[in-house]
Amino acid sequence: MTLAEILPYLLKGTWVTVEITLISIVLALLMAFLAGIARVSEHRLVRWIARGYVELFRGTSLLVQMFWIYYALPMLGVEMSAFTAGVLTLGLNIGAYGAEVVRGAILAVPKEQYEASIALNFTPLRRLWQIILPQAIPAMIPPFGNNAIELLKGTALVSLITLHDLTFSGQLLRNLTYQTADIFSLVLLLYFVIALFITGVVRLLERRLGVGLDRGGMAR
Amino acid sequence: MKFVWDWDYALEILPPLLKALVVTVEATVLGFLLALVVGLLLAVLRRAPLRLVRWPVVFFVEFVRSTPLLVQLYFLYFVLPDYGVSLPALVVGVVGLGLHYSAYTAEVYRSGLDGVPRGQWEAARALNLSAYRTYRDVVVPQAIPPIIPALGNYLISMFKDSPLLSAITVVEALQRAKILGSESFQYLEPFTVVGLLFLALSLLSAAGVRRVEHHLPKHGIPMK
């Protein structure tokens, strides 16, 4: 097969990879903010639960987690499709890394800002929403970008739980044609293109969100 | 299906899983050594005066860091035999892990090299040291200590990536668990035990890295 014949097959798999990446990123962001904010909570129990989640998902392998959720969890009566299992694992795993980013960025907001919002008698929720997060979010963007690339690379593992993604398409085509070098070069290149796209989006966000923010002279 | 956790089975599979974990650790340590050497080479080449040398290195690092390790492993495992190079799966796995992480360690070394004061380079030049001796005797000894924690973190990441070797038929801990599960149709225990083993080992190594960090000099190397 020529490359022009191979490409359409791979693009189908690419679409699945993109889908999984996007949905997992949403879930990962949600978990990152939930757990990251919980990590700096005033309640010890909330902090401990978040800490347990972060340590558990950062301490074990992504692939082991995926196999556990896909193959072992049904034995406990929880069954789900390979797609759900893949997205869930990726979201929870990268979310745990993201939680540390959120925590770090929140803790980096100057202490006076907390004190001022307490002095103004803001409710904790309003303090978080209007004072802390708007200042913390720009600092989260670059590390979130790295996490998104990690997530993209992690999506390749869903091929091992039978999902027909880009990597899986590459494998199938290889079994069919034995043009190993061509196919896997093309697969790698497609992943690289998606990664470049993510990097581009992150740069754009960085520029948009960084505007007009006074970071105590750090910016200049 | 009802919840059944079989303690006897979990204990029974512990010895074979621990044995397979040795393979996991071996692959990680060997791969990490490779990553340490190749990464340093890449970091130094990246500072070469020739653009023709620098540019491919930059591309390699970016490309390797933004594509999946799994596909890179497949690439090595399936493509090398086409060119007459047949290596055992474990060797391919170690090389794949090592090369993948060399792209990360290269960036760590880079930050270390950037941290060496300019004056040190200039002094080496004034003393008419060769490029090799400048790196060996002046720059690298000052660049390495501050980056040891970062390198240690990559060792832990690498350990957590080593289950991917199961995809190219290396029988490491995860693959062993999979085999055990398929023999008994009980997947819960093997995968849970493997997960816990990984958790224990990576928490242990994280504590180890923190310990090393603690013993490092705070500002550069101590002057004797």
Write the DSSP string, A45-96: HHHHHHHHHHHHHHHS-HHHHHHIIIIIGGGGT----HHHHHHHHHHHHHHH
Q: Which of the residues B71, B99, B198 would you substitute to probe the A interface, choosing the one with the greatest number of A C-beta atoms within 10 Å?
A: B71
**How far does B138 lie from chain A, in Å, by closest CA?**
32
Count the helix, strand and coil residues of chain A and give each as a percent rounded to the nearest 5. Answer: 85, 0, 15
CB A6 within 8 A of CB A73: no
Q: How many CB pairs under 8 A join A and B?
A: 119
Average pLDDT over residues B190-199: 95
pLDDT digits (tens, 9 = 90+) for A6-30: 999 999 999 999 999 999 999 999 9
**How far does B72 lie from chain A, in Å, by closest CA?**
8
Instruction: Map out the domains of chain A as residue ranges.
Output: 3-210
A167 to B1: CB separation less than 8 angstroms, yes or no: no
Q: Place B217 in a pLDDT band, splitting at 50, 70 and 90.
A: low
> DSSP state, A211?
T
Architecture of domain A3-210: Orthogonal Bundle (1.10)
Read off the tokens for B107: 């960036």
A63 contacts in chain B (CB < 8 Å):
163-164, 166, 174
CB B222 within 8 A of CB B158: no
A60 to B198: CB separation less than 8 angstroms, yes or no: yes
Work out the percent of chain A whose per-residue pLDDT is above 70: 95
> DSSP state, B222?
P
Query: Is the pLDDT assigned to residue B53 strictly greater than 60?
Result: yes
Query: Is the pLDDT assigned to residue A150 strictly greater than 60?
Result: yes
**How far does A167 lie from chain B, in Å, by closest CA?**
7
Torsional sign, CA B43, B44, B49, B52: negative
* Count of other CB atoms within 10 angstroms of residue A193: 11
Instruction: Supply the angle between the helices B140-161 and B89-115 in degrees, to the nearest 10.
Output: 140
CB A192 within 8 A of CB B66: yes
Is B75 near chain A, with CB under 8 Å? yes
**Per-residue pLDDT, B3:** 62
| Nearest residue in A to B160, CA atom | A61
A71 to B187: CB separation less than 8 angstroms, yes or no: yes
What CATH number labels B7-215?
A: 1.10.3720.10
A63 to B1: CB separation less than 8 angstroms, yes or no: no
Query: Residue A195 is nearest to which of B66, B70, B199, comparing CB atoms?
Result: B66
**How far does B222 lie from chain A, in Å, by closest CA?**
30
A184 to B75: CB separation less than 8 angstroms, yes or no: yes
Query: Is the pLDDT assigned to residue B1 strictly greater than 90?
Result: no
* Count of other CB atoms within 10 angstroms of residue B198: 24
| Nearest residue in B to A151, CA atom | B68
A59 to B199: CB separation less than 8 angstroms, yes or no: yes
pLDDT digits (tens, 9 = 90+) for A154-201: 999 999 999 999 999 999 999 999 899 999 999 999 999 999 999 999
**How far does B219 lie from chain A, in Å, by closest CA?**
23
* Count of other CB atoms within 10 angstroms of residue A26: 11
B76 contacts in chain A (CB < 8 Å):
none
Q: Which of the residues B2, B182, B199, B203 would you substitute to probe the A interface, choosing the one with the greatest number of A C-beta atoms within 10 Å?
A: B199
